Structure 1
Amino acid sequence: MQSYGMRWVSMDDLEEAKMALKEIGTDSAGIAHMAGKGLGRGIKLEQVPLRVAHILKQEMLSLGGDAAVHRNVIVNQIEMTDIMLLGTVRQLERLSTKVLSQPFGLKQIGSDLRKLLGNLEPPKSRILNCRGKELRLGERTLIMGILNITPDSFSDGGRYNNLEDAIAQAERMAAEGADILDIGAESTRPGHLEVSEEDEWKRLEPILKTLAERVDLPLSIDTYKASVAAKALEAGAHIINDIWGLQKDPEMARVVGEYRAPVIVMHNQTETTYHHLMGDILTFLKQSIGLAEAYGLTGDQIIVDPGIGFGKTLEQNLEVMSRLAEFKALGHPVLLGTSRKSMIGKTLDLAVDERLEGTLATSILGVAAGVDIVRVHDVQENRRAVEMADAIVRGQRGVNYVGA
Structure 2
Amino acid sequence: MAYNLRSLSLVSLAEAKRQLEQIGCDPVGVALMTEKMLLPVLKLEGLSTKAANLLKQTFLAKGGDVAVSRGTADLSEECTDVLVFATVKQYRLALAQLRQQPWGLPRVAAAMEQALKAHLQPTCQREYAWQDGKRLVLTENRTLVMGILNVTPDSFSDGGRYFSAEAAIEQAQRLVEEGADIIDLGAESTRPYGGNQEISAEIELSRMLPVLEPLVKQLSVPISIDTYKAEVAEAALQAGAHIINDVWGLQRDAGMAAVAARHNVPVVVMHNQQEAAYTGDIMGSICGFLRRSLDLAAAAGVREENVWIDPGIGFAKTCAQNLEVMSRLGELQAMGCPVLLGTSRKRFIGEVLGGLATDERVEGTAATVAWGIAQGAQIVRVHDVKAMARIAKMINAMQKKG
- TM bin (shorter chain): over 0.9
| Residue aligning to 1:93 | 92
Aligned pair in 2 of structure 1 residues 119, 130: CA closer, same or farther (>3 Å)? farther
Question: Aligned partners of 2:221 and 2:401: how far apart in 1?
Answer: 27
Work out whether residues 49 and 75 of structure 2, in 8 Å CA contact, stay in contact via their aligned partners in 1.
yes
Would the alpha carbon gap of residues 324 and 77 (structure 1) be closer, same or farther in structure 2, given more than 3 Å must change?
Answer: same
1:12-32: CA deviation from partner (whole Å, max 9, x where unpaired): 121111111111122222222
Matched to 2:332, the amino acid is F
Residue 105 of structure 1: CA displacement?
2.5
Task: Report the Cα distance in structure 2 between the residues aligned to 1:131 and 1:367, rounded to whole angstroms.
Answer: 30
| CA deviation after TM superposition for structure 1 residue 125, in Å | 4.2
Tell whether the 8 Å contact from 1:131 to 1:260 is kept in structure 2 after alignment: no
Match of 2:312 among 307, 311, 322: 307
- Unmatched segments (≥5 aa) in structure 1: 397-404
Superposed displacement of residue 101, structure 1:
2.5
After TM superposition, the score normalised by the length of structure 1 is 0.94
2:255 corresponds, among 233, 251, 262, to 251
**Alpha-carbon deviation of 1:269?**
0.2
Contact 2:258 2:301 (C-alpha < 8 Å) held by counterparts: no
Once the two structures are TM-superposed, the CA of residue 237 in structure 1 deviates from its matched residue by: 0.7
Deviates more, 1:118-127 or 1:160-169: 118-127
Cα deviation, residue 394, structure 1: 4.3
Structure-2 residue corresponding to 1:25: 24
How big is the shift at 1:11?
0.8
Residue 313 of structure 1 aligns to which amino acid in structure 2?
T
Distance 2:135 2:400 in 1: 21
Contact 2:47 2:79 in 1 (8 A): yes
Task: State the 1:42 CA deviation.
Answer: 1.3
Aligned to 1:287: 292
Partner of 1:303, secondary structure, is strand
Question: SS state of the match for residue 72, structure 1?
Answer: helix
SS of corresponding position for 2:135? strand
Aligned residues: 395
The change in CA–CA distance for 1:111 and 1:256 in structure 2 (over 3 A counts) is closer
Distance 1:81 1:3 in 2: 49
Task: Please give the alpha-carbon distance, in whole angstroms, between the structure 1 residues aligned to 2:299 and 2:73.
Answer: 41
CA distance in 2, matches of 1:369, 1:270: 27
Which residue number corresponds to residue 399 of structure 1?
none
Q: Which residue of 2 aligns with 1:128?
A: 128
Corresponding residue to 1:362 among 365, 368, 373? 368
Q: Are positions 1:327 and 2:332 aligned together?
A: yes
Partner of 2:243: 239
> 1:97: Cα distance to partner?
2.1
5+ residue gaps, structure 2, are none
Conserved in 1, the CA contact under 8 Å of 2:225 and 2:244? yes
Which aligned pairs between 1:170-189 and structure 2 lie closer than 5 A? 170-189=172-191
Distance (Å, rounded) in 2 between the aligned partners of 1:378 and 1:69 = 46
Shift of 1:366: 1.3
Look up the match of 1:277. 282
Cα 1:106–1:43 shift into 2, 3 Å: same
Q: Quick one: distance in 2 between partners of 1:163 and 1:354?
A: 26
Letter in 2 for 1:279: G
* Runs of 4+ deviating beyond 3 Å: 122-126
The question of whether the paired residues in 2 share the 8 Å contact of 1:128 and 1:300 is answered with no
Pairwise CA distance, 1:113: 1.7
CA RMSD of aligned residues (A): 1.6
Cα distance in 2, alignment partners of residues 237 and 88 from structure 1: 44
Letter in 1 for 2:56: K
Structure 1 residue 368: Cα displacement: 0.4
Distance 1:141 1:58 in 2: 41
Letter paired with 2:202: E
Structure 2 distance, partners of 1:229, 1:54, is 46
Deviations 1:279-330 (A, max 9, x none): 1111111111122222222233111111001111111111111111111111
Pair 298,81 (structure 1): closer, same or farther in 2 beyond 3 Å: same
* Cα distance in 1 for residues equivalent to 2:315 and 2:182: 22
Inter-partner Cα distance in structure 2 for 1:106 and 1:226: 36
| Distance change (3 Å), C-alpha of 1:125 and 1:259 | closer
CA distance in 2, matches of 1:206, 1:253: 25
Letter in 2 for 1:382: M
Measure how far apart 1:59 and its partner are.
2.7
Distance 2:230 2:12 in 1: 40
Q: Which moved more, 1:170-179 or 1:318-327?
A: 318-327
Which AA in structure 2 matches 1:329? A
Stretch deviating more after TM superposition (163-172 or 28-37): 28-37
Question: After superposition, what is the alpha-carbon deviation per residue over 1:99-144, rounded to whole angstroms, capped at 9, x for unaligned?
Answer: 2233332222222222211122133644123554211111310000
SS in 1 for 2:212: helix
Aligned partner of 1:260 in structure 2 is: 264
TM-score, normalised on structure 2? Answer: 0.94
Change (3 A) 1:196 1:106: closer
User: Residues 150 and 321 (structure 1 numbering): CA distance in 2 closer, same or farther, change over 3 Å?
Assistant: same
The alpha carbon displacement at 1:196 in A equals 1.5
